[in-house]
């Protein structure tokens, strides 16, 4: 049979009516018989267009409060019959089953209902049965039937039937079928994940329907893709397209700044997923200036993020630096015009979006999942391990350093003073190496470490780190504790008037 088919009938049953009217009017113009039911039937009738109620075909009304409307052999026979199969065609005639060439159907908004905080009963009622069955049937039989399963495809479908006078090619039918199975598989994944939200069944189902092809991956010879609703999380005001590496840095920046969301003006500068500058001050301009002072060399080409609106004075300072991305909750008009002065600089407004609860990464021939690290070390978590107790200012610095340490690649040591990052040692195989790196870096940028504090993402198995730190001028330490040799580090601190607090929580980041 010909791969191009001219449609003569269509079944329409949709929850969302937006964008449907032009299609229905085109069907009327092309002489296509329309079958429908319920609210969709009324919508079409109200347009003054003839429609055949599904009940007239099945001789059964909609029953069980609308739960059963289209689940009938006379409907599914019209969709699933193979038109090049003589037996199928004969049975259509025998049982008076109308051929259905087009199925337009969408699904109850299950995910939106869950997100709204609706009751379990309301959520269960939004599990579509008839719609999902129609989609699977029509998409399976794409050789003879066209399935349109989302209002997002209405314009595409309307263009096809308009340009071809109601004829639809096999290529287009198969393309719409692929889109339909994308819809149905995503829908079923969402339902499963709702029922398995406690992960009692050790099965992973991830489905992201919003995707974007990136210029390349981590390196130019690698392909790269982003799957997720970036536009829901950010409003992009200016600049080039974000790269794979930009997105990784933006992710690191956002997660770090969440720790300071409701704090005084805080500014961070990140490079290769780690902060190279961080400061908290009474005004944003000074916070940026002091964040930049943490490492003005690494800041070149970095990602900048603020927890407050960026003003003109801050923008003028930022504009002196070559940076890839600037992120803030808002910008005043003057600041925005200044920052737009570099055509490729990416300027983002961060919107209020809930972050995923589970973190996923590939591992070997599978995947690893874990809960997001929601634990932020607070004053009430601290146990005072040494005779010498930290001062109030030191406690503020310790908690400030701990927040940053949590978001820095392990092994890491973070040195801060007066709520400013002096330096950090990042991603080292030895904690001693991380400390030595941090001290060397801080001193190379002329930081005075006398009175600075130290944060470690994990415990000290030996007293070597606190000894090195003490000799560099550091006066207070925050660490998880838990080593069988904790006492060795405590003893050294006591002997050298260094205060130490323990949090009881490790924050590895690999």
| Active site members | 140, 272
- Cα 433–Cα 437–Cα 440 angle in degrees, nearest 5: 135
The residues with which 368 forms a beta bridge, in sequence order, are: 361
- Cα 24–Cα 29–Cα 32 angle in degrees, nearest 5: 65
Q: How far is the CA of 262 from the CAs of 259, 280, 294, 362, in angstroms?
A: 8, 12, 23, 33
**Cα 24 from Cα 44, distance rounded (Å):** 7
What are the two backbone dihedrals, phi and then psi, of residue 422, each rounded to the nearest 5 degrees?
-85, -45
490-502 b/e with 16+ CB inside 10 Å = b? bebbbeeebbbbb
Cis peptide before 411 (omega within 30 of 0): yes
The residues with which 227 forms a beta bridge, in sequence order, are: 211
Q: How far is the CA of 478 from the CAs of 138, 214, 295, 470, 497, in angstroms?
A: 62, 41, 23, 13, 15
Torsion of the alpha carbons at 99, 102, 103 and 104, rounded to the nearest 10: -150
Contacts of 321 (CB under 8 A, 6+ apart): 292, 299, 300
Structure tokens at 358: 């589970």
Burial of 68 from C-beta contacts in 10 A (0-12 / 13-18 / 19+) = middle
**Cα 234 from Cα 352, distance rounded (Å):** 9
CA-wise closest residue to 101 among 187, 176, 183, 20 = 176
Contacts of 442 (CB under 8 A, 6+ apart): 415, 422, 423, 449, 452
């Amino acid at each position: 049979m010909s791969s191009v088919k001219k449609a003569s009938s269509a079944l329409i049953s949709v929850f969302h009516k937006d964008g449907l009217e032009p299609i229905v009017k085109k069907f009327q113009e092309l002489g296509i018989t329309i079958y429908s039911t319920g609210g969709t039937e009324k919508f079409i009738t109200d347009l003054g267009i003839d429609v055949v109620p599904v009940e007239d075909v099945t001789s059964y009304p909609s029953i069980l409060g609308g739960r059963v409307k289209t689940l009938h052999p006379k409907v599914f026979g019209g969709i699933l019959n193979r038109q090049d199969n003589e037996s199928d065609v004969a049975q259509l005639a025998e049982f008076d089953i109308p051929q259905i060439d087009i199925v337009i159907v969408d699904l109850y908004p299950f995910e939106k209902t869950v997100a709204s905080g609706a009751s379990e009963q309301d959520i269960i009622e939004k599990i579509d049965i008839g719609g999902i069955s129609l989609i699977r049937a029509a998409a399976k039989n794409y050789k003879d039937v066209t399935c349109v399963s989302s209002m997002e495809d209405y314009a595409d479908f309307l263009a096809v039937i308009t340009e071809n006078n109601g004829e639809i090619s096999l290529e287009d039918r198969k393309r719409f079928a692929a889109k339909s199975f994308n819809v149905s598989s995503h829908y079923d994944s969402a339902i499963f994940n709702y029922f398995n939200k406690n992960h009692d069944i050790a099965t992973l189902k991830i489905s992201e329907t919003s995707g974007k092809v990136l210029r390349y991956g981590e390196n130019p010879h690698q392909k790269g893709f982003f799957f997720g609703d970036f536009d829901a999380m950010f409003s992009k005001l200016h600049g080039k397209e974000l790269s794979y590496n930009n997105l990784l840095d933006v992710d690191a920046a956002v997660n770090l700044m969440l720790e300071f969301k409701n704090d005084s003006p805080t500014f961070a500068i990140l490079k290769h997923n780690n902060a190279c500058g961080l400061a908290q001050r009474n005004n944003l301009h000074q916070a940026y200036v002091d964040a930049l002072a943490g490492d003005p060399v690494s800041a070149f080409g970095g990602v900048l993020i603020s927890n407050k609106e960026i003003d003109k004075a801050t923008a003028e300072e930022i504009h002196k630096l070559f940076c890839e991305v600037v992120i803030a909750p808002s910008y005043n008009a003057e600041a925005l015009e200044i920052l737009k002065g570099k055509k490729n600089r990416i300027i983002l407004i961060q919107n209020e979006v809930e972050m995923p609860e589970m973190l996923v990464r590939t591992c070997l021939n599978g995947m690893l999942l874990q809960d997001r690290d929601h634990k932020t070390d607070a004053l009430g978590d601290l146990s005072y391990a040494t005779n010498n107790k930290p001062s109030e200012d030191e406690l503020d610095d310790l908690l400030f350093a701990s927040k940053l340490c949590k978001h820095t690649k392990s092994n890491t040591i973070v040195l801060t003073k007066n709520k400013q990052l002096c330096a950090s040692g990042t991603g080292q195989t030895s904690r001693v190496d991380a400390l030595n790196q941090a001290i060397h870096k801080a001193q190379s940028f002329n930081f005075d470490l006398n009175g600075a504090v130290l944060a470690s993402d994990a415990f000290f198995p030996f007293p070597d780190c606190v000894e090195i730190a003490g000799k560099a001028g550091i006066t207070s330490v925050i660490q998880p504790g838990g080593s069988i040799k904790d006492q060795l580090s405590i003893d050294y601190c006591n002997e050298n008037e260094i205060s130490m607090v323990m949090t009881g929580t490790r924050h590895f980041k690999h």
